[in-house]
Amino acid sequence: MVYIANVYLEEKKFVYKALQDIRGIGERKGREICARCGLGLDVKVGSLTYKETSLLAKEVDKIDKIETKLTRKVQEDIKRLVRIKAYRGRRHTQNLPCRGQRTHRNGQTRKKFDWRNMG
């Protein structure tokens, strides 16, 4: 199993698809990373050599915000909104939807599930 950026990549997946399991990397970035490493889109994670794996890990490390850094950034942004007493910050603290959704009928999932204790 390949371990990159604190995430195990599944051996049966294509490399560009497996890279999407890393938070902060989408399909486009996954394809770009594969292109920079010289890997085709039909290469699976299980068939990678050690050299290709280390090259892939170096390319992923060049990206600024992935996994823990990205999570920390999002949490800091929410804390900033709460600190400046913005409307969205209040919605976060009250555990209600903050992107304009209705709450009369919808938003029940957000109300019932405690999102603050995740991560």
For residue 113, give the 3-state DSSP assignment.
coil
Q: CA–CA separation, 43 vs 40, rounded Å?
A: 6
In this structure, are residues 25 and 63 in contact, taking their beta carbons and an 8 Å threshold? yes
For residue 3, give the 3-state DSSP assignment.
strand
Q: Over the stretch 92-114, which tens digit does the pLDDT of each residue have?
A: 888 888 888 877 776 677 667 66
Q: Which segments in the chain show pLDDT lower than 70?
A: 106-107, 110-111, 113-119
In this structure, are residues 15 and 56 in contact, taking their beta carbons and an 8 Å threshold? yes
In the block, residue with structure tokens 């399991």: 21
pLDDT on residue 118: 58
pLDDT on residue 23: 92
Stated pTM of the model: 0.73
pLDDT on residue 114: 65
Q: CA–CA separation, 108 vs 2, rounded Å?
A: 39
pLDDT on residue 115: 58
pLDDT on residue 96: 84
Which domains are assigned to the chain?
2-61 (1.10.8.50), 68-117 (4.10.910.10)
Q: CA–CA separation, 7 vs 25, rounded Å?
A: 12
Q: Report the C-alpha dihedral over residues 74, 55, 4, 67, rounded to 10 degrees.
A: 0
